[in-house]
Structure 1
Amino acid sequence: MRVNGLVIREMTLDDCPHVAEIRVRGWQSAYQGLMPQSYLDGLSVAEDTARRRAFFERGDGDVVNLVAERQGELVGWACHGPYRDGEVRTGEIELYAIYVRPDRVGSGVGRALLAESVARCAAAGHERMLLWVLKENAPARRFYERSGFGPDGAEEPFEVDGVAIPEVRYARPLTGTALA
């Protein structure tokens, strides 16, 4: 898919180091002040690259990894697949992650990745998409709300270095609606 100079495509094994860089820098930027700084400082692009490669090589045909590329440079990544209630798949669909290079936040990259994930999930016949977002992450919550997602009442703690950080679940219907 092409939109406003962006190419949204399936991730390849060669993209793993770039995706890891986007993910780690995204965490360090988006979650500053929301989780322990020592944890964020300890994130490693090399370790995350190894994890991305292992996930990618192991493969799960139900998980879709998308990247956003502008002028040959990776600027964002999104991943969706079966919703997990604990370790049990429920048959619903979940946006697992969406990260944009911190210097490209607000440029439409995240919106394009989300639109493509939503479109693919709707085309596959899913009725709604779920995601988890940190309760105190106001910018992310606004982003999702502008895209038709809203809290559905479910909350759970996410633990980082022994600190409970509450998450809220958001949902968006996929049938009969277009991404706003």
Structure 2
Amino acid sequence: MRIREMTDADCATVAELRVLGWRSAYTGLMPQAFLDGLDVAEGTRQLRERLAQGHAGTVDLIAERAGRAVGWACFGPARDSDVPPGEAELYALYAHPEQYSTGVGRALLLECVARCTAAGRPRMRLWAVEGNTRARRFYERFGFTPDGAVDPQTVEDVPVPEIRYSRDLP
């Protein structure tokens, strides 16, 4: 497996990974009509637009196996107003559902942690949907713990609360 920076050519694949990931992880947690309505073309457009704007400090990484993108992670500066300046946030981490439990997520997360550590970030945070026990267990295995913050998100009037996790970086 190879981890590399995302390019514009990866946007459609990443948008597809994201849609597949949401449909896999959030079935039963979010309205099915919402999940069915996720659009790869719109996701591709949004990713290309974000890449073109070049958000300072945001890094997109691709996990590649045999020349095929099988995972994506995105991190950058922490966005929450109650977080001290200089901390990092994992914005997204997705593996193709066929790649679950094959080391894709692990490799991406470890690369994100390594890059944030090398940049001198003291801590990394992330948000996980409360009902997504698979993701929560995954992050907990890597030393992330809930820090007490909860975001009472809703999706089409259905409560989908998120829990913030954090961990100190070496």
Q: TM class by shorter-chain length?
A: over 0.9
Does 1:123 pair with 2:115?
no
For residues 1-180 of structure 1, the aligned pairs below 5 Å read: 6-85=1-80, 90-175=85-170
Distance in 2, Cα, partners of 1:74 & 1:96: 18
Distance in 2, Cα, partners of 1:61 & 1:9: 18
Aligned length: 169
**Off by >2 Å, runs of 4+ in structure 1:** 88-91
Which residue identity does 2:54 align to in structure 1? G
State the percentage of identical aligned residues: 58
Worse-superposed segment, 26-35 or 88-97: 88-97
Distance in 2, Cα, partners of 1:106 & 1:51: 29
SS at match of 2:161: strand
Distance in 2, Cα, partners of 1:52 & 1:154: 28
- 1:39–1:161 CA contact under 8 A, matched in 2: yes
Normalising to structure 2: TM-score of the pair? 0.96
What is the Cα deviation at residue 85 of structure 1? 1.6
- 1:82–1:89 CA contact under 8 A, matched in 2: no
Q: Which runs of 5+ in 1 are unaligned?
A: 1-5, 176-180
Normalising to structure 1: TM-score of the pair? 0.91
Cα distance, 1:89–1:12 mapped onto 2, change above 3 Å: farther
What is the Cα deviation at residue 144 of structure 1? 0.3
SS at match of 2:33: helix
SS at match of 1:84: coil
1:178 equivalent in structure 2: none
What is the Cα deviation at residue 61 of structure 1? 2.8
SS at match of 1:107: coil
Distance in 2, Cα, partners of 1:90 & 1:39: 35
Q: Which runs of 5+ in 2 are unaligned?
A: none
SS at match of 2:79: strand
Distance in 1, Cα, partners of 2:56 & 2:151: 28
